[in-house]
Structure 1
Amino acid sequence: MKILLPVDGSELSLEAVRHALRLRADGLLISAVLANVQEPASLYELLVAHDPEMIDRVSAEAGMDALSTAMGLLDADGVDYECEVAKGDPAHTLIDICERFGCEMIVMGARGASAARSAMLGSVSNEVLHASGVPVVIVKPPQEEEGS
């Protein structure tokens, strides 16, 4: 099964990678697509940099840097994977990547926002969940122990 693993470098996105590895340990044969979506350059960045190619290069390097820890986790477990760094609206870009690579599942982290806040602002994971044509597993942050 080919799984899309969106990674932004956060601990929660890496926990989603670990979740996919646990699915593998439980017997699911997987390959992965590690994806990082960079924000498009702002007008200010374009005006200051004067070099759109340099901005694209820096953006691609930042995306690969964000994927590096996840790549190490997959390498250590012997999982075949591909990497994609893209620019654009995160949710729609992730759905596009999922479709282009033929992924059969998405495993991604969720922010710990409250339900009301999530409904007001919308989150990438919520948008992906509703727009995806494949199953989406949303890995939530671990619950803190009571009394901690």
Structure 2
Amino acid sequence: MKILVAVDGSPSALCAARYGLEFVRDGLRVEFVLATVQEPTYLYEMLAPDAEVLERVSGAVGSRALAQAEALFEAAGVPFEREIGSGEPAAKLVELAQRHECTGIFMGGRGMGALRGSLLGSVSQAVLQQAAVPVTIVKCESGVEP
């Protein structure tokens, strides 16, 4: 079993990462891909049209988004792959899951996106519609700090 865990640095995404680690604690053999997607950097493109600079900026932002989830997996001694993508988040997450031959996707219901107030985040909703594999939307327990 190989699971892509969508991470954007939000508390909800960390709940999804912790949920994945519970499978390992319960004795299941699971491989993980921690993935984050940076939306297109139009502002950066205007300031620094150099592709190499844009890649470094996107990589730095992506690394920050992944840092807490990676720390959880490292502390638990659970190996993982990491992916930093760029583009439309839902489509890219689905593409990354396909490329890594994942059998499922775990993600938080609400992330750092612009529509945080909606009942279910727009990225989560789009991944549910587009993915060919099961998608698990992980809710944090009320009042529990991830």
TM-score bracket, normalised by the shorter chain, equals: 0.7 to 0.9
Number of aligned residues = 139
**Match in the other structure for 2:101:** 102
Pairing 1:86–2:85 present: yes
The structure whose residues are more often helix, as a share, is: 1
Conserved in 2, the CA contact under 8 Å of 1:30 and 1:79?
Answer: no
Q: Choose 46-55 or 93-102, whichever is displaced more.
A: 46-55
Structure 1: tracts of 5 or more residues without a match? none
Structure 1 length normalisation: TM-score? 0.85
Q: Choose 79-88 or 92-101, whichever is displaced more.
A: 79-88
**Match in the other structure for 1:4:** 4
**Match in the other structure for 1:28:** 28
**Match in the other structure for 2:113:** none
Cα separation, 1, equivalents of 2:58 and 2:118:
31
State the Cα deviation string for residues 80-137 of structure 1 (Å, max 9, x = none). Answer: 211110100000000000000011111100127454xx5xxx7111111121111111
Report how far residue 40 of structure 1 moved: 1.2
Structure 2: tracts of 5 or more residues without a match? 111-115
Cα separation, 2, equivalents of 1:35 and 1:51:
25
CA root-mean-square deviation: 1.8
Report how far residue 31 of structure 1 moved: 1.2
Question: Judging changes above 3 Å, is the alpha-carbon distance between structure 1 residues 64 and 114 closer, same or farther for their aligned structure 2 residues?
Answer: closer
SS in 2 for 1:9: coil
Runs of 4+ residues over 4 Å off in structure 1: 112-115
Cα separation, 1, equivalents of 2:29 and 2:6:
19
Question: Judging changes above 3 Å, is the alpha-carbon distance between structure 1 residues 79 and 144 closer, same or farther for their aligned structure 2 residues?
Answer: closer
Corresponding letter in the other structure for 1:8: D
Please show how residues 130-141 of structure 1 align to structure 2 within 5 Å.
Answer: 130-141=129-140
Report how far residue 144 of structure 1 moved: 5.0
Question: Judging changes above 3 Å, is the alpha-carbon distance between structure 1 residues 113 and 46 closer, same or farther for their aligned structure 2 residues?
Answer: closer
Report how far residue 28 of structure 1 moved: 1.8
Structure 2 length normalisation: TM-score? 0.86
Please show how residues 1-148 of structure 1 align to structure 2 within 5 Å.
Answer: 1-42=1-42, 44-111=43-110, 113-115=117-119, 118=120, 123-144=122-143
